Chains A and B, each alone.
Chain A
Amino acid sequence: GAVVSQHPSWVICKSGTSVKIECRSLDFQATTMFWYRQFPKQSLMLMATSNEGSKATYEQGVEKDKFLINHASLTLSTLTVTSAHPEDSSFYICSASTGTEETQYFGPGTRLLVL
């Protein structure tokens, strides 16, 4: 149980394009999903918290217009990197929790490379 998937697993795009990453909880309903960014050899940095049906809460320093988050259902959240630039290249990881249990289960990550 508690499986979280992400799609795509990797993406290469041109600078200026937008990229959408999906995060799905496969066998449970996730009231809360989290989006993280991880640079090589570093820890996970929380970008935003998203609750189903409401606006995401962004961490300080994270541009909400740059990283659009939508949590339309209890099993799906999406992160859209708008007008991507090379400095947006990173490993993006989502996690999901049921709320009641509070433990976060992580997806396999999406590696983004912006050329």
Chain B
Amino acid sequence: GQQLNQSPQSMFIQEGEDVSMNCTSSSIFNTWLWYKQDPGEGPVLLIALYKAGELTSNGRLTAQFGITRKDSFLNISASIPSDVGIYFCAGQEWGAGNKLVFGAGTILRVKS
């Protein structure tokens, strides 16, 4: 079945530093999504990518849909304490009924 490899598994960074995380898949996706989940909450959509090569920003967040359609990255610039949480990538493939395949998540901790 579909697998998404998300890395790194966790990061502990200094406030103000930039952060980068990525996901790769064994097959092609038509949509890549990045979510953030706080403890005890549901995931919140950060960025949605629909087109290969697409680069999209949302404030300090930037994400790209890889040209091969098998990967995506998320960058966070100038991290702040409220960036703490778990970040998940998720992919959708054509004809899969909108089902999402999730990465294992990246735990982000920020030291102020």
Which A positions have Cβ atoms within 8 angstroms of B?
2, 4, 6, 32, 34, 42-44, 46, 49, 57, 91, 93, 95, 97, 99, 102-109, 111
Chain A: minimal CB distance from B101 (Å): 8
Q: Is the interface of A mostly helix, strand, loop or mixed?
A: strand
Number of interface residues of B (CB under 8 A): 21
Residues from chain B with Cβ under 8 Å of A34 in the complex: 98-100
Contact of B97 among A42, A49, A111 (CB under 8 A): A49
Contact A109 to B99, CB < 8 A, known contacts A43-B104, A102-B31, A103-B48: no
Contact A46 to B100, CB < 8 A, known contacts A102-B31, A108-B41: yes
Which B positions have Cβ atoms within 8 angstroms of A?
31, 33, 35, 40-45, 48, 88, 90, 92, 97-100, 102-105
Residues from chain A with Cβ under 8 Å of B102 in the complex: 43-44
A111→B40 contact, CB < 8 A: yes
Q: How far is the CA of A105 from the CA of B97 in the complex (A)?
A: 15
